[in-house]
Every structure is written in C-alpha cells, then in structure tokens.
Chains A and B, each alone.
Chain A
C-alpha cells in the first residue's frame, strides 16, 4: 500500500481560468447540478418559512383561542412534510451524482493522459505524486464542487431569505439582530482558515506516520539485522509527539470556535429579549414576533459556519484543481503527428490494416540525446543494425546502454538526428505500431496482480494455454510454475510480490516471447536466475533470437557471447565493435573487462582442467 504525501499548500489568489476548465468537465451532468441547487433553494425557502408558520400558530390560533384555523395549519404542515422529504432526497441524490460523475470524469481523463505521457514524465514524477492527484485531489475537488456548491447555495439563500423576512416584518429587531452578523462572519472565516491550516499540518504528519509504519514494516528484516529498533522508535516517537501537539492545537482552535459563535448568537438573543420584550409589553409587537426573531437567530449560525467552511475549502480545492488540470493538460513530449494518427491510428484505436510489416532493420543516424535536465548521453551516434541481427551492449553504468535501448523503443526520442526502422524515420509511423512489434524484458520486471497465466498472456491476450505453456517451457519457467499448487493459476500478488526476482524475470521473459516480437530487448533480463537455469535460458535464447532483431544488455559473459555483434560503449561512444573473437583479439577494453573475471588463479585452473 502506498501513502501519499500532502502537497505544500499556499494561499493563492482565485484563479478563474482553472475553475472555468473544471466547470467545463461538469457540463455533461449540469442537470444534476441544477436540480441539486433547486432542491437546496426549496429547502432554504422552507427553513425560512418554517418559523413563520409557528409564529402564525402562536399569534393567530393560540391568541385567538379558537381552533377553527387548526386544520389549515395541519394541512400546511403535511404539505411541508412531503416537500421536505422529497427535496432532501433530491438534494442528496443530485449532489451525490455530481460528486461521483465529476470525480469519475476527472479520473478517466487523467488516466488516459497518464498513458500518453512519455517515460521522461515518469522519470521526474514519483508514483506517489500521481496517486495523490488521482485519488485525494480528484476527491477533494468533486466534493467541494458538488456538496460544497449546493450547500453554499442553500446557506446563502437561507441567509438572504431570513434577512429579507426580518427586514420586512420588523426593521428595528432586524437591525439589532443583523448588527452581530459582521462579527459572526469575520470570526467564522478567521477560525475556519486557522482550523483548516491546522488540519493540513495534521494530515501531513499523518502521512509521515503512515510512511513510517510502512518503512517499519517493509524494513522489519533490515531493522532487525542492523539492530536499529531503538533508533527507529525514537524517530517515530518524534513524529507521533509532533502529531499529538498539532492535533491538540487544532482542537483548541476548533474548541474555541463553536462556543464563541454561540456566545455571539446569545448576545443577539439577549438584545432581542430586551428590546423585543419591551415592545411586546407596549403591545407594539406580538409574542409570536419575539419567537420568530429568536428562532431566526438560531437558524442563522449554521449557514454562517457552513459558508465559512465552504469558502475556506474552496480556497484549498483550487490547489487540487490546478494540479489536476495541470496533469490532464500536460503536453506529451512524444506523440504521433495527426497525419500518422490518421493513417496508423492512436493508442486506443490501432488501424492495423494500414500497418506495414516490421522487418527489423534499425539505424541510428547521427543521434544526439540528452535527458531533460542533465548531460548529453549520446552525441552524433550512428549505428546500423540489420534485420535479424543480435547486438550485445557492453559497458559501465552510465555508458549509454539503456539510453540506446530506450531510444529504440521510442520511450525517448533523439534530441537531434534520426532513428530509422526498416529504412524510414520511426516518427513517420505510430508508437503503437512499433510497440506492438516489440518485446521488452527488464532487470526488475513488473508483473500485474493476477495469475501467472494472465501475466504471460499480457504479451498477447488471445494466446491459447498451449502457447503460454510453450513459451514458459522455452524460458524454463514451466518447471517452477507447475510446482505451485495452483500451477498457471497461481496468483502472483501485487507487483508479483509472491514470486522471487528470478521467477519474475522468467515470467516476464515468457510474456515478451509470446508476443512474437520483431525486435527483442533484453535489459539484464536474467541477472537473478541461478546458473543452471541461466544455462538453459541461453539455449532458449539462441532459438528465440532467430529471425528477430535483438538488443541485449548483460553483465554475464555467457549471455553476451551469443550475439552477432558486441558493442563496447564508453561515454556514449562505441569504442569497440565486433564478435566476441574479434574483440578478444583486439586485446583492448572488452578484453580487459572480461579478463577481470578470471584472475590468474582461474586461468591456471582452467589450463590445468
């Protein structure tokens, strides 16, 4: 499970452009929004009228001493009962739907965008950040734009309604009551902002604590072996103490808020009691009128407190909106031109009928490449690979091996120069076309939760069980798979957690094979399998590489020697190139790199042997 860090929050100015964009996503279900607001308006009207009815009962029926008007009164009450029941239903169902549909739409759009964005985006964006945008931000935003917006209309209308009625029925008492309103609002906004800020701090601490728990649990073994229990606990205690302090501070603020609002309302009530009371005793107003004002003061606070809350939350939600819109509108740096999409289709709609067959010739033509912020990895790099050729890339970390592979996969594009596939710039054909013909096996393979079968089939969803087993057998994965109780139906767990690294590598190998790719990339694909299995895989690789263009990055000599051509890279330059034998004869870098593996002792041994 992941935990997501709270974003730093700054009080930014109201940004109309962002909200406009968000509202444009709400257009398809504006009916729900309008209905929700309508229900809120009716409810606000009832809340305004309700004390008036009771006033009527006090002044007209009880004072008159006759029950004549009671039936009308009851009838009126019954009507209100039904209206309230329905309106509350309508209010909830519509606000809720706006909430659900908006977050659905936002998620959908963002998810689609995430799959259009190139690798470079993921290089600089942590998964946790993305998850936070997709979960808490979209939730926050939808929440405020549904319940928040509709509550806001209820609160505002009710305040306006009450104010108007008060002013009409008794100007003097109305002014007395309303005189406390500015203080009420100012205090509310002050406290709400304070409280929200305090809670933000708490949430931040909370996500740190969750992170600490996560670390404590996933790192339990390491902690034990390093005997760091006490240190870890002290660090943890530091966090929880801070959390306690912040929480208590927030509670003191929150604890001050409601009582002080209540007290202001009481002052208003006292004023009404005194001035209204005198008017009653002078027969200027009725007792019902006195009751009406006291009731109105009571119903004033809820909307005021709610309004302050919603306003403060809107301010906060703007940050969420900015981040989400930022994600959805992110321009992918790698994309197909409209002409290419027109002919070959996009990621969601392959026009396979227009796809040329990929043969497998790959050419780098004066390719220069640098990562968005960083040094140049390749400079004027040229390389010609024939279809069906297998190339091994050798060199230190940072020599440019992975970059070359990433460029071939079009995970990145050259900063300058061209990459040709079958003689044509690969940008002239779609990304989907290339990837559909590509097999890619990584050192740290990623499996999806589901069964082994499903994972191998990911390479080609319509593969039969026989084909899956065949592929697994080719890479020697079948052996360990059948030893599981559930065989191919074994669940691999989240990210493949229930399998060892070596097993995951083999499965991802099978997954790549079953797709029958024209270009195969092996990036340290078998580093974690044991020697015996590796040997068997070597045999398999020989078969597998036939008829495909392949690029192999490996540390193990045995893997490398299988290729047609070995490229020794250093700082993005091909230092040596040739077959194993040729390079050994050269007695330069390659020779040095691999004689290291066999120090004199070995050489003696092997000579003896």
Chain B
C-alpha cells in the first residue's frame, strides 16, 4: 500500500489522463485481437459458409450476395477499422507523452527546489555525483516506468487476455494447448531478469570505475606527465577497461543464452499449437480459417509473455529509484518554520557566549564566543586551520545554527530574522568561490540582473579584476564556470569580490578570500574597499598577518575559543599566539628592514 502511494504520488494532477490513456490502450488491444478474425471470416464464412467469429455488428456489415462483393466489403471495413485503430493509437500516444513529460517536469522542478532549500550541513555531507544521479537517472527510471513500462504491462496483460478470450470462442482444446508452455516462458523471464540484475550492477560498477580512471587521468594529466607516469596510467586504464570488458562479456553470454533458449521454448509452443491445430482441422473440429487465426494468436501470447516477464523482473529498479528520491524529498527544508521578521540590519554585530557542535561530533567546534562589533568596524579573525574560523562565519549567516548563546544583529537574535533577509544583508566571499556557468559579466551582476555596465566595471575595478578581464579575448563576455575557461584561484576570488561589491551590504565577510591573490593586488583591493565601503562592517579571515594587522579588532581563535582579542599593538604586547605568528611571518621582513636601514 505504501509502495502504491509512493508510485502514484508523483502523478498528482495527471491521474485522469493516465486513466484515459489506459482505457484507450485496452480498447486498442481488443481491436488488435479482432484482426485475425477478419481472415477467419474470409476463409470460413466467405469461402466456406461457416460461422464467422467476428462480433455480430461487424459480420452483419459484411453480408452481400456475391463473393466478390463480400470480399470488397471485408477489404473496406478492414481498412476503415484499421484507420480507427491507428487514430486511437495516435491519440493514446500523444496523451501518454503529455502526462509522462508533465510528470517528469514536475519531478525535476520539485527536486531542484528541494535541493536548493536543503540545509548547508546536508550539502556538505552529500556527494555531488550521487545526488545528480538521483536527479537524472532515478527520475528517468521513474519516467520510463510510468510512461512506458506500466503502460506496457497494461498492454501486454490485456493483449494476452483478449487473445485467450477470442481463442476460447473458437476452440477450448486449442486454447489450452496454445497457452500450456507460456507460464514457463513468463517464469523464466522473471527469474532471469531478477538474477541478471546483480551482474548488470557489476557491469555498471566496472564501467563507472573505468570512467573515473579516465576522468582522473585526464584532469590530472599535468601530474601524470610531470612524473613520467604515462605508462602507469595506461596500464591502470587497461586493467579497468579489461575488467569492464570481462564483466560485460559475462552479461552478454547470459543474454545470448536467455534469448536463444527462450526463442527455442517459444517455438516449442508454436510447434505444439500448429501440430494440434492441424490434427483438429483434419479431424474437422477446427475450421481452416480458425486455424489461421490461431497462427496469429500464438504470436500475441508467447512474445508478450516473455516481455511481461522481463518488465516484472525489472520492477525492482523503480522501487529503488523511488526510495532514493524519497531520501531527498523527505528531508526538511531549511526554510521550514523560518521567521518572517525582516528587521533593518546596519552592521552592529554581537556574539554572546556562542557555542556550536555537530551532532555527530564529540567535541564542540566553538565555545564561549563573545564579542561586539560596531557599525563600520573591521574585525580580523586569525587562527590555524580547524580553529573554528569558518564555523563562526557559517553561524553568522545561519548556514549552521548555534546551539548555545546568541548572535545578534542590531540587537535582534538572528534566529528571529528571516534567513534570506539575513543573507541578503550579510555578504560573504569564500576562499574557493563558486562561479556560475555564464559570462563574467553575468557572474558579476548575478545578484542585480539589471545592473548597468558602469556599475559592473566599477565593481570589477575595485576588485582589481578589470585589467585581467580586458586581457581575455572576449573580455566581459568570457564564459566561466563548468563549461567556460578555467580562471586561476586568484581570479575567481576577485570575481567573487566584484560580485559582492555590486550591492552595498551592511556586513561583508572575507573568508580567506584573497589567499590566491598576490600581495600587491591584495593591498590594492583592500585600499579600494576601505575607501568605497566606509560604513560596512567587515569580517576578515586571513592567514596573512599583514592583512590582519590593519583591522580595528583582531580575534585569535584556537581550538574553538577566543584566546586573544585586541588591536595589533595590544596583541603584540600580549606576546601570545598573535605575536608568535607575527614573528614567524615577519622574520624575513625584519632582516629586510634592517637591510633597508643599512641602505639608507
């Protein structure tokens, strides 16, 4: 029952069409089983003056005084009947396509929305490849199931059913003989397709491994070449390619045996039916026209039986796909129960005893974080990798939710602020920024689709990006992202900065977002920012101590706690971690200064 619900829930709004398509399909199968009876009619009634097995309303139409006229009538009625059949067939197919595509369309959109709304922690744990597989292959599996397989089952069952009914109207013995082996064919097919699934999976895995090897080798070609490991790679690929070949061959052999042997069995059924049919005809229990009709009916039973077994055996695939889709759909959206409150955010930020810990972790990532930042101030956060810097940032825009303490913007707890509103006001530039597959131009103005050109260029200039862009062949129209040119890490970071600068936000966060930019450019950008964004509260996470020292306030994090806080001078005097970091990084520079003094 639950399964059934699962199967049908995606069909919302399309059930009526589905029903209509199914009814037309059933009608078509009935029509199809009538066609052999036309031949029976000609042979037995027109030529033999025997009973016609056609439905009376049709056989009544075919009455005439001469044989020639009768034949002409049969030919005409048969053609008209076929015209009706193919018209319905066409209509049925169009309806089928309409609802199938509508269902697929709904599925894709629902999934896309869901994925966008799932929380950050969900995404940081999920595997991209796996998710994409679900959104594409699993959707396709269901689409095929609903649009083709389920329909096909209906078609086959009714075709077999109507054939048996038509046959039994002619001869009980013959009907029994005609279906005697078919259950075996059905059984073999079901069992085979269930069994072969495992092997099929192994083939797929082998293929996936081969593709991964290929892709890794091609993306890492610089490394391969630099280490002169072409041979290793070629051999590795060869191993996977051969493995795939072997697995695929096993599958092929099984397939060949299955199709060969079932064809053999199907012909046993043919032989049986035809032989008994001949025997009964000669004995006079079967009319010659009926015999010919039987020749057609066996075909309408045995081949569909095998096909039916195949689909039933393949059934599991769809349930697996639906389960995998449900795993996504049943997760809660991060916007569920979100506040609708949209207070003004000016840039006053307050952390009060904030603590955070992942559910599956035994240690808190942050604890007892308290500090206050005034509007327009800049705060540098330094600390080793893993000290909690990024977590702190993620809490500020509610990619994660703090369990302890409170974070307030202008006195309002962020949990009482609408998430999207919060994020619109707090801009963040990440270390490894993501660019969308569009032109540089479109990427920079992605948040403000109608921004004029001057504004885009201005933002790019502040981010020290404009000159770089000018060097590209297509300038601002250069495509980036998945399908575009590969930008260097520094260029990506600067695009991200320019993108963020297009809108003025009260709070900006730089999450080590200038790490891949050279020092000179780093300074240029920061100087430009300071003049253009005086009233912006800025959080700067950095490894560069020369960047941190300029901030109004410096926070030193270690193991999730604030160990030092103050400005550059006061922290140097404390002679703690900050002073140590400063020492390390400027060691060389001290020599440099001494040298310089010497020069002077």
Contact = CB atoms under 8 A, between A and B. Distances in A.
A561 B589 CA distance: 10
B82 interface: yes
B184 interface: no
Given A243-B105, A448-B220, A210 B227 contact: no
A126 interface: yes
Contacts, number: 468
Contact of B214 (A131, A222, A609): A131
Interface string A304-347: 00000000000000000000000000000000000000000001
Contacts of B523: 596-597, 599
Interface string A29-71: 0000000000000000000000000100110011101110010
A6 B72 CA distance: 53
B64 interface: no
Contact of A80 (B75, B105, B267): B267
A1 B267 contact: no
A347 B257 CA distance: 43
B223 interface: yes
A85 B595 CA distance: 92
Contacts of B38: 273
B123 A220 contact: yes
Contacts of A61: 278, 282
Contact of B101 (A247, A280, A435, A558): A247
B42 A222 contact: no
Given A225-B397, A273-B71, A85 B263 contact: yes
Interface stretch (B2-10, B158-166, B310-318, B480-488): B480-488
B436 A219 contact: yes
A215 B228 contact: no
Contacts of B118: 220
A278 interface: yes
For B39, B223, B230, which residue has the most chain A Cβ atoms within 10 angstroms? B223
B87 interface: yes
Contacts of B82: 262-263, 266, 270
Interface in B231-263: 231-234, 237-238, 241-242, 245, 248-249, 252-253, 255-257, 259-261, 263
For A221, A258, A349, A409, which residue has the most chain B Cβ atoms within 10 angstroms? A221
Interface stretch (B125-133, B405-413, B452-460): B125-133
A274 B543 contact: no
A193 interface: no
B581 interface: yes
A381 interface: no
Given A67-B282, A84-B263, A411-B225, A530 B271 contact: no
B68 A281 contact: yes
Chain A binding site: helix, strand, loop or mixed by DSSP?
A: helix
B57 to A, nearest CB: 20
A269 B78 contact: yes
Interface stretch (A104-112, A149-157, A184-192, A570-578): A104-112
A233 B113 contact: yes
Contacts of B545: 531
A84 B86 contact: no
A137 B428 CA distance: 42
Contacts of A423: none
A440 B83 contact: no
Nearest to B246: A100
B218 A127 contact: yes
B358 interface: no
B398 to A, nearest CB: 9
Contact of A107 (B126, B241, B520, B585): B241
7 contacts: A63-B288, A87-B260, A104-B245, A130-B218, A213-B111, A215-B481, A220-B116
Given A213-B131, A532-B581, 9 more contacts: A57-B274, A67-B282, A84-B263, A89-B257, A210-B132, A273-B74, A278-B68, A347-B230, A584-B596
Q: Can you list the 7 inter-chain pairs with the closest CB atoms, starting with the nearest?
A: A251-B97, A255-B93, A89-B260, A85-B264, A435-B228, A1-B129, A259-B86
